[in-house]
Structure 1
Amino acid sequence: MAELDPRVRLQALLTEYSTRAEAIERDLSREHAQSFSEQATERQNDMVLQGLLADARMGVQEVKQALERLDAGTYGECEKCGEPINEARLEALPTAQHCINCAD
C-alpha cells in the first residue's frame, strides 16, 4: 500500500473535524420544543452536543498545529525529546506531538 502524504491526510482530517463542528453548531442553534418535558430532553442532548463540539474544535486546533509543524519541517519529530515519532503512531494519530515513550 502506498504511503499517503501527511499533508493530504491532515487536510482530510481538518475537513472532517470542521464539517462535524459545523453540523453540531447547526444542531445547537435549532429552536427548542414548547413542552417542558421535551425541553429537558433537548437540553440534555445539547450538553452532549456541546461536548462533541468541544472535541471537534480541539481536533481542528490539533490538525492546524500539525500542519504548522509540517510547514516548519518538524512534523514527525517528538516535541519533548526530538526523536522521530514512529510511522505506525503517526498513521494511527496523525496529530501526534510526542513519541510513544514521551507520551507515556
Structure 2
Amino acid sequence: MKSLEQRRVQLLARQAELEARLHDIDAELDTPQSKDWDDSAIEREGDEVLEGMGHAGQVELTLIAAALARIDAGEYGVCGRCGEAIGQERLDLVPHTPLCRTCAA
C-alpha cells in the first residue's frame, strides 16, 4: 500500500512527463508543412494524431491536478460519487481516478 506522499510523487512525475510530451507535440505541430501535396497530406494526418494525443494529455493533466488537490484536502482515495474508499489496486492502475470501480463502471 502506497502512502499519500508516494502517490503525490507518482502523480507529480506523471504530470512532468505529460507536460514534456505536450511541449514536444506543440513543437512538432508548429513545424512548417511540406509544399509537396502528398507529403502535406501525410503530415496533416500525423498532425491529427498528435492533436488527439495532446487533447488526451491535457485531460489527464486536469485529472492529475484534481487528484493532487484531493490529496491536499485529505479526500484522496475516496470515491467522489458514492463516498466509499477506492481500492488500492485501482489507485495503483489509475492513481488520478476520482471514482471507485463500481461508480466508474
TM-score bracket, normalised by the shorter chain, equals over 0.9
The answer to whether 1:74 aligns with 2:54 is: no
Which stretches of structure 1, 4 residues or more, deviate above 6 A after TM superposition? none
Normalization by structure 2: what TM-score? 0.93
Structure 1 gap segments, 5+ residues each = none
Structure 2 gap segments, 5+ residues each = none
| Aligned amino acid, residue 87 of structure 2 | N
- In the TM superposition, residue 37 of structure 1 has moved relative to its aligned partner by 1.1
| Aligned amino acid, residue 8 of structure 1 | V
- In the TM superposition, residue 101 of structure 1 has moved relative to its aligned partner by 1.0
Q: Distance in 2 between matches of 1:89 and 1:3?
A: 12
| Aligned amino acid, residue 18 of structure 1 | E
Cα-to-partner distance string for 1:6-26 (whole Å, 9 max, x where unaligned): 110110110111111111111
Cα-to-partner distance string for 1:31-83 (whole Å, 9 max, x where unaligned): 11111111111011101110001011111111001001111110100001111
Q: Distance in 2 between matches of 1:47 and 1:83?
A: 39
Normalization by structure 1: what TM-score? 0.94
Q: Distance in 1 between matches of 2:80 and 2:66?
A: 12
| Aligned residue in 1 for 2:2 | 3
| Aligned residue in 2 for 1:100 | 101
| Aligned residue in 1 for 2:24 | 23
| Aligned residue in 2 for 1:85 | 86
Q: Distance in 2 between matches of 1:66 and 1:57?
A: 14
Q: Secondary structure at the match of 2:11?
A: helix
Q: Distance in 1 between matches of 2:14 and 2:88?
A: 17
